[in-house]
A = this chain, B = another copy of it.
Amino acid sequence: MTRTDTDDRISRPQAQKFEDRRCQLADSALEALAARGYARTSLRDIAQSTEFSLGVLHYYFRDKVELITYCVRRYKARCVERYDAIAAHATDADDLLRDAGDGLAATIEADARMHRLWYDLRAQSLFEESFRLDVADIDASLEQMIWRIVSAYAELAGVTPRCTSGLAYAAFDGLFQQALLRYLSGDDAALDDLRAGTRALLTRLV
Q: Is A172 an interface residue (CB 8 A)?
A: yes
- Could you tell me which residues of chain A, from 107 to 153, have a CB within 8 Å of some CB in chain B? 116, 119-120, 122-124, 126-128, 132, 136, 139
A39 within 8 A of B: yes
Q: Is the CB of B119 within 8 A of A126?
A: yes
Some 18 contacts from A to B, beta carbons below 8 A apart, are: A37-B124, A38-B39, A39-B39, A40-B128, A120-B127, A122-B181, A132-B185, A139-B181, A166-B178, A167-B175, A167-B196, A167-B197, A169-B174, A170-B174, A170-B178, A172-B174, A173-B174, A173-B177
Chain A interface residue count, CB cutoff 8 Å, equals 42
Given A164-B193, A170-B175, A171-B174, 6 other A-B residues pairs in contact with their CB atoms under 8 A: A116-B127, A119-B123, A126-B180, A166-B178, A167-B193, A167-B197
**CB pair B167 A126 closer than 8 Å:** no
Please provide the 3 A-B residue pairs with the shortest distance between their CB atoms, ordered closest to farther.
A174-B174, A37-B127, A39-B39
Which residues of chain B are within 8 angstroms of A65 by Cβ–Cβ distance?
none
